[in-house]
Structure 1
Amino acid sequence: MSLLAPSRAETSAHGTHLARRRAITAGWIVVAITVFGSAAYIDFAPATLLDGFDATAGLIERMLPPRLDDPGRIGVLALETLLMAVLGTVLAAIVSVPLAFTAARNTTPHPVLYRASRAIITFCRAMPDLLFAVLFVRALGIGVLPGVLALALHSIGMLGKLFADAIEQTDAGPREAVRSTGAGYFREMINAVLPQVVPSWAANFVYRIDINLRTSVVLGFVGAGGIGFALQDALRGLVYPRALGIVCVILVIIAAMEVVAVLLRRALLTPSTNAPGRERISRVAFSGTVVGASLLALITLRIDPLDLVTWIGPSLEVFTRLVPPDFTAVGPDLVDAVLQTLAIGAVATAVGAVLSLPFGILAASNLSPHPTVYAAARSVILVVRAIPELILAVVFVAAIGLGPVAGACALAVGSVGFLGKLVADAAEEIDTGPLDAVRAVGGGWWKTLFAAVIPQMVPSVVGSTLYLLDVNIRTSTVLGVVGAGGVGFLLFEAVRTLNFEFAGAIVLIVFAVVYAIERVSGWIRSKVV
């Protein structure tokens, strides 16, 4: 055999490399076909965007200057919104802790319990929080309790999964040591597992409060309490300056909460070598704050603790009316609405990814060409993240009219806040070696960006974009409540007209679509990232 001939291993490696490149190329072709096909399906075109930009600019001009006609009432509603988020998250955490132990492979007492717990977590995560709120309002009446319960149920989907994942990642050594002393299951969990997962659980809990604060803002749109009711009232009355004033209050609250969340996560997760007791003090102070905030929420929101138990009966009466689902009314309108939902999510994710990449790169401290540019990019990302997508949908519906284009625009803008931050974080975590090598040969900022930065960021950005697609399709299922297209309009209209059997059919279809998208996205992430 010739010494110059490639070895069998080299040939195999070359073939694998070619197969991977072909798979990636085929993947990009599928993505392009999907995005352009989705854009065509909902009539999302550049000309529409330009018209929408002019109309949106005109709407914003009519909103200026912002004003608050009743600061006292708005302040009370803002506090109500914050306390709803805290109490909903606390209730979810209380349920998620035992659920996590039965949903973790290494601690579940029985396979049947494992599957049942995972099914509950998946259901809570797949169902839109706004739908929970609508059903609870129907069962319990208008007020803050339906909002708190909706936040709690939906949060179980996230906290239960993250809590269980943390348990599955624990070291088995401490458990074996405790088991060797003859301790039972509960002592083993408390003494060996719980100390390992508490820091992670606390960080996830704080992050969920941040998410729930954004969500609780829009629950008022369906009568579930909070400042969203005042915002909807101002928008419905076309009092745009008052609406912008309320939006500014919301921005301040969410931005302040984000700063508090960052400080709390840093205090809870950063080990202190100089003061070993500081971590214990921080955790005790954190626990005391949570308990105090929960009691304050019960008092301020005027929720009887018994209401946290007695809601089950009336709510089950409404929820069970969704069963059996009536699929006889499923026709072209529902099929079109589901396809609109998928198209809105796909288009919004694609446009959001294109917009997020430059903002994320400029918001990375190690890549931004100037501190002023860095501060501006970070500010844009923070402001956009602070505005819930449903509020953006209301603005675009008012500017460019009803339909899926308004929903796609709202989700695309919202994606800049979500994905822009992830892109910036990914850019700040790249290896600096390739950057230094390009700069050493005289490469400028652009050369460094394309030669050394983007190749390192591709896996992380692809994974984050797939996760964003999952999130956007979930969110697009509820945009119909404000006329922004998708299946949400039919769903909320069915509940409003008491056609619960048809609503049950829509709920099952939404659940199946969201669950399928979640599984497909997870599979793609496992293959690409």
Structure 2
Amino acid sequence: MKTATKPGAEPASSTGNHAPAITNDALRPPFSRERFVLCSGFAAIAGLTVLSARQIDFDLRALGGGFDDVANLLERMLPPELDDPPRVGELLVETLMMALLGTVLATLISVPLAFLAASNTTPHPAVHHAARMVITMCRAIPDLVFAVLFVRALGIGVLPGILALGLHSVGMMAKLFADAIEQIDEGPREAVRATGAGRLTELVSAVLPQVTPAWIGTFIYRVDINLRTSVVLGFVGAGGIGFALQDALRGLMYQSAMGIILVILLIIAAMEYLAVGLRRTLLDPASDGAAVPAVPGPSVRPPWTKGRTIRGLCAAATVAAVVLSVIHLDIDPLAPVKQFGDLVSVFGRLLPPSVEGLQDELLKAVGETLAIGLVATTAGAALAVPVGILAARNVSPSEYIYHSARVFILAVRAIPELILAVIFVAAIGLGPMAGAMALGVGTIGFLGKLVADSVEEIPGGPLEAVRATGGGWWNVLFSAVLPQALPQLTGHWLYMLDVNIRTSTVLGIVGAGGIGFLLMESVRTLNFDVAGSVILIIFIIVFAIERLSAWIRRLFR
């Protein structure tokens, strides 16, 4: 049998037969149909991005002339001040409690909805499609619009903010919950079914233990997102520290506004570190090693491992925090039921949708929104992908680079897009370019974290195989990392495009262009039928992106 010589080793004889040494060319993955589709897709995206940049007059040189305006704005905001620290502290606690309660509410709705939406647990295909449509609709309606509608129905306060966060979060959480269910190992289900257990026991004993880690990660991540979102909801009277920030900006008290912004950034950064710690503690596979003796009972019950015990204690602490938050915020859980008629009346005004007299304006706004989302996502990804790779512990060249990249991602993620939009509007004026710049910077933090997490989860075998051939860091990156991570990175890019298109509707509140300006104006002027049309358009766009993402996932299975 012929054997290949080790890289760099001398052959036994100059004339002896031996296999050729492995070269860098041999490390290149073969050109497959999937790679052809991806390359074609990337070429199309590049072309569309260029056209979109022209449509919104995207020109980085415009930032040069706006530095003086930004410098003047920052000069008026420094030194930061806190005029009423006790009030700011109270509103901050209120914001944290809103984020927690909104995420818990979304979880309670998402769990049964996910079982109905997952193809392997749904009772009927029609139910599956209906559940997926509900999930997409929750994601299509911006949280700010939910908040405005709930404020009109229930009045100013934290309850509209909690309901807005909860319903909008269902769009993300239920989708990820359902995806996790569809990826389970069916073996345990069949084993439980063989014992004669009912369907509910089958789901609780065989499905839940498999999806719980993924669900916990999604819950923690969503609390982090909702903390940022709750800051924006204060601008429409839905409670939280955003209300104080809005008062400061409206009153031109820029030093007070900067003080509040710094407090927000510190809390978001602290929440990020807390989320990382919780994920490591709750999702550490080593903690599920030794099983704690379980209470005698049916054999289908999962054992009480150390990890399960820790998760149980954290769940109990979360329940206690929820009860404390409801009491502290003086929330009536039955208020939505008592005022159900008002809710139906307000939301019912979105139907039937109408665009009479606004067809041309709406068409232009839709094109502008798509252009903003595409330019922001592509431009942000150009920096987010390399930074995310450097922030992956298994690929990063050194510990210093790893920690620096993680800190950079954290710092960028800590700044809400609405605040970025205000800064860019001050620098380059009203319009879509300010929105694209704000979303582009936000994409660096958001997508960078997703890239880093995805790269850290790829199998290490191919990386070690390339290193064993003498391949350097670049060989490992292009021959082992990117080929494995490319499907996930493509999915993340599409998800970011979805997020940016929806977020652009929020930035319209500060004049950052796109369909968001038309949406917010229609809500402010009580033209709810126009708002319904805008929401329907956003739903169609989000649904199309979701179908495209699902097709790409199937392509790489």
TM-score range, shorter chain: 0.7 to 0.9
Shift of 1:293: 1.1
Does residue 421 of structure 2 align to residue 379 of structure 1? no
Question: Which amino acid letter does the alignment assign opposite residue 485 of structure 1?
Answer: G
What is the alpha-carbon distance in structure 1 between the residues aligned to residue 154 and residue 362 of structure 2? 28
Matched, 1:315 2:329: no
5 Å matches for 1:150-229? 150-229=164-243
Worse overlay, 512-521 or 221-230: 512-521
Distance of aligned partners of 1:372 and 1:138 in 2 relative to their CA distance in 1, 3 Å threshold: same
* Alpha-carbon displacement from aligned partner over 1:81-127 (angstroms, at most 9, x marks no partner): 11001111111111222222222223323333333222211211222
Q: 1:50 to 1:214 in 2, by over 3 A?
A: same
Which of 355, 358, 377 is residue 383 of structure 2 equivalent to? 355
2:74 aligned partner, one-letter code = I
Post-superposition CA distance 1:158-210 (Å, at most 9, x none): 22222223333334444444444544333333344333333332232222212
The corresponding residue for 1:3 is: none
1:491 partnered with 2:519 = yes
Partner of 1:464: 492
1:413-441 Cα deviation digits (max 9, x unpaired): 10110122233345555643376368x47
* RMSD between aligned residues: 2.8
- Helix, strand or coil for the counterpart of 1:65? coil
Which of these residues, 142, 149, 154, is aligned with residue 135 of structure 1? 149
TM-score (norm 1): 0.88
> Is structure 2 residue 282 aligned with structure 1 residue 254?
no
Which runs of structure 2 are paired with 1:85-484 in the superposition (5 Å)? 85-271=99-285, 272=287, 273-274=289-290, 276=292, 277-365=305-393, 368=396, 371-428=399-456, 429=458, 431-433=462-464, 436=467, 440=470, 458-484=486-512
Of the structure 1 ranges 398-407 and 106-115, higher mean CA displacement relative to structure 2 is found in 106-115
**Judging changes above 3 Å, is the alpha-carbon distance between structure 1 residues 190 and 334 closer, same or farther for their aligned structure 2 residues?**
same
Aligned residue number for residue 12 of structure 1? none
Shift of 1:152: 0.8
SS in 2 for 1:202: helix
Deviations 1:420-463 (A, max 9, x none): 2233345555643376368x47x6x7787677766665554333
Among 62, 70, 78, the alignment partner of 1:48 is 62
Moved more, 168-177 or 299-308: 168-177
Aligned length: 511
What are the superposed Cα offsets for residues 240-266 of structure 1, whole Å, 9 maximum, x if unpaired? 222222122112212222222222222
Alignment partners' CA distance in 2, 1:24 and 1:168: 25
Assess if the C-alpha contact under 8 Å between 2:147 and 2:160 holds in 1.
yes
3-state SS of 2:356 partner: helix
What is the aligned counterpart of 1:84 among 88, 98, 105?
A: 98
CA deviation profile, 1:328-356 (whole Å, cap 9, x unmatched): 23321111111111010011112101222
The 8 Å contact of residues 463 and 476 in structure 2, kept in 1 or not, is answered as: no
Matched, 1:501 2:529: yes
CA distance in 2, matches of 1:21, 1:168: 25
Structure ranking higher in helix proportion: 1
- Going from structure 1 to structure 2, the CA distance change for 1:27 and 1:57 (only over 3 Å counts) comes to farther
Q: 1: distance between equivalents of 2:552 and 2:129?
A: 24
Name the structure 2 match of 1:65.
79
Deviates more, 1:88-97 or 1:103-112: 103-112
Could you say if the C-alpha distance between residues 427 and 62 of structure 1 is closer, same or farther in structure 2, counting changes exceeding 3 Å?
Answer: farther
Q: How has the CA–CA distance of structure 1 residues 369 and 278 changed in structure 2, closer, same or farther, with 3 Å as cutoff?
A: closer
With normalisation by structure 2, the TM-score equals 0.84
Please state how far the C-alpha of 1:228 moved relative to its aligned partner. 1.0
Please tell me the residue identity of whatever aligns with 1:136. Answer: F
CA distance in 1, matches of 2:396, 2:194: 55
2 CA distance for matches of 1:20 and 1:207? 31
| Alpha-carbon separation, structure 2, partners of 1:192 and 1:458 | 31
Structure 2 gap ranges (5+): 1-29, 293-304
- The 2-side partners of 1:183 and 1:20 are apart by 42
- In the superposition, relative to structure 1, how do residues 462 and 160 fare at CA in structure 2: closer, same or farther (>3 Å)? closer
Matched, 1:36 2:38: no
Q: Who is 2:27 aligned against?
A: none
The offset of 1:389, in angstroms, is 1.2
Q: Return the alpha-carbon distance in structure 2 between the equivalents of residues 475 and 501 of structure 1.
A: 21
Deviations 1:49-103 (CA, angstroms, capped at 9, x unpaired): 3334554344334433222221111111111011001111111111222222222
User: Would the aligned equivalents of 1:67 and 1:245 in 2 still touch at CA under 8 Å?
Assistant: yes
Residues 350, 528 of structure 1: alpha-carbon distance in 2 compared, 3 angstrom cutoff: farther
Task: Indicate the larger mover: 123-132 or 456-465.
Answer: 456-465
Which whole-Å CA distance do the structure 1 matches of 2:161 and 2:64 have between them? 37
Cα distance in 2 for residues equivalent to 1:527 and 1:387: 36
**Displacement of 1:508 after TM fit?**
1.2
| AA aligned opposite 1:187 | T
Q: Structure 2 CA distance, aligned partners of 1:342 and 1:291? A: 41
SS of 2:332 mapped into structure 1:
coil
For 1:517 and 1:75, the matched residues in 2 are separated by: 40
